[in-house]
Amino acid sequence: MKIVVVGGGIIGCATAYELARAGCAVTLIERATPGAEASGAAAGMLAPLGDSAPSPFEELAIASWRLYPKVAAELREQTGIDVEHVTRGTVYPLFTIEDVRLAETRAARHLGKEFGIEAWDTAEVRDHEPALAPNVRGAMFVRGDHWVNNQRLVIAYAQAAVAAGVTLRAGLSVSRVVVESGRARGVVADGERVDGDVVLLATGAWTGQLVASFGGRLPIEPKRGQMLSLAHVPPVLRHCVHAEEVYLVPRPSGELLVGATVERVGFQGAVTARAIAGLLAAAIELVPALGDLAISRTWYGFRPWAPDSLPVLGPWPGVDGLWVATAHFRNGILLAPITAQLMTTWIMTGKPGMDVRDFRPDRFVNAR
């Protein structure tokens, strides 16, 4: 099967890799370089447990989380790239006794064991993460919340894809999907036609524009996220720390990531003074010692978002051979391995092998 994958973010690269391993002839088209957009801008946290009741989304997230140790080892073996899969766990600081009680209830959840969920009292917080501010009364600790270096991950997936036989066409921008007699036949990229039996759109926040090229409508929007990093040598924090206003991700490379805003400002590509000031104020309030660290980088990215905040995965209704995998919003790094596996199985067998009812593109196509 000849497949054109459009978009070289984490979703396009991971899916191209899986499709090639399953025997497809894959061309991956990316207008810039792999990881140039949201996938290079992310913090790389792999935190699949939601606050609410179990849902198909949480199932998808947990399934992907379970794949990560194997994915990291496999990519390292095939490309030599260490994706910095860190398994030290995340601390969720709590400021009231009631919150600590709630955390104890959550620790008793059925997944508590697999994810190593613990409720820490004040003394345990001081013991495990002494740099946290004195007003932190307790914490929920989730040992199973891991993180990776997403810049390395997307490059590793792209290299592994090429090694598996994928033709990577970087620097080529797709202007439209070719649809003839109700079937996708390929795409037009910088005036060149690239043919395929199947076209998969993995174009992140820009997917709505390509869907519009054949008269379709998909309400995908960008949600801008701004972040910064601090020089974290010697390290102040051991764990990832995730509070309401800010999260802090210590990378083995010696950076501490401070994130992130979630803004609905269209495609305004800018790092703003207000956002960076807000993130820094929240970070220093939570961990006062961070005030003395040097700022190393600031950046932004556009998360692909659908109005119900769920991914959009599956066949495009009414156009045979056209598929979409996007709108992973705040969890695209976490969800990449399962998305790649699911889309490959679905495209090749016609069956997704998972409960995908909440994710199908036709939920928007039929709702006007």
Ligand X SMILES: Cc1cc2nc3c(=O)[nH]c(=O)nc-3n(C[C@H](O)[C@H](O)[C@H](O)COP(=O)(O)OP(=O)(O)OC[C@H]3O[C@@H](n4cnc5c(N)ncnc54)[C@H](O)[C@@H]3O)c2cc1C
Q: Is residue 125 within the footprint of ligand X (CB under 6 A)? A: no
Regarding 251 and contact with ligand X (CB under 6 A), the answer is no
Closest contact distance (angstroms) between CB of 313 and ligand X is: 11
Look at residues 314, 299, 341, 312 and name the one whose alpha carbon lies nearest to residue 35: 299
The reply on whether position 17 binds ligand X by CB under 6 A is: no
Angle in degrees, CA 107, 113, 119, rounded to 5: 25
> Contact with ligand X (CB under 6 A): which of 44, 48, 196, 250?
44
18 is a site residue for ligand X (CB under 6 A): no
Check residue 257 for interaction with ligand X (CB under 6 A): no
CA-nearest of 269, 267, 285 to 277 is: 285
By the rule CB under 6 A, 228 interacts with ligand X: no
Q: Between residue 308 and residue 327, which ones bind ligand X under the rule CB under 6 A? A: 326
Positions in 284-303 near ligand X (CB under 6 A)? 301, 303
Cα–Cα distance measured from residue 278 to residue 139, given in angstroms and rounded to the nearest whole number: 23
Question: Binding of ligand X at residue 5 (CB under 6 A)?
Answer: no
28 belongs to the binding site for ligand X (CB under 6 A): no
Near ligand X in 151-180, by CB under 6 A: 173-174
Choice between 119 and 202, CB closer to ligand X: 202
- Decide: is 220 part of the binding site for ligand X (CB under 6 A): no
Q: Answer yes or no: are the C-beta atoms of 358 and 65 closer than 8 Å.
A: no
Instruction: Give residues 126-145 in contact with ligand X (rule: CB under 6 A).
Output: none
Residues 208, 326 contacting (CB under 8 angstroms) = no
Nearer to ligand X, 138 or 301 (CB): 301
Where would I find the beta strands (DSSP E) of the chain? 2-6, 25-30, 45-46, 90-94, 117-120, 138-142, 146-147, 167-170, 174-180, 183-189, 192-195, 198-201, 221-231, 240-242, 247-250, 255-259, 295-305, 312-315, 322-326
Residue 101 C-beta: closest distance to ligand X, Å: 28
Residue 339 binding ligand X, by CB under 6 A: no
Please identify, among the stretches 43-51, 91-99, 265-273, 283-291, the one whose residues bind ligand X according to the rule CB under 6 A.
Answer: 43-51
Structure tokens belonging to residue 293: 């660290």
Footprint of ligand X (CB under 6 A): 6-12, 29-32, 36-39, 41-45, 173-174, 202-206, 210, 225, 227, 259-260, 301, 303-304, 326, 328-334
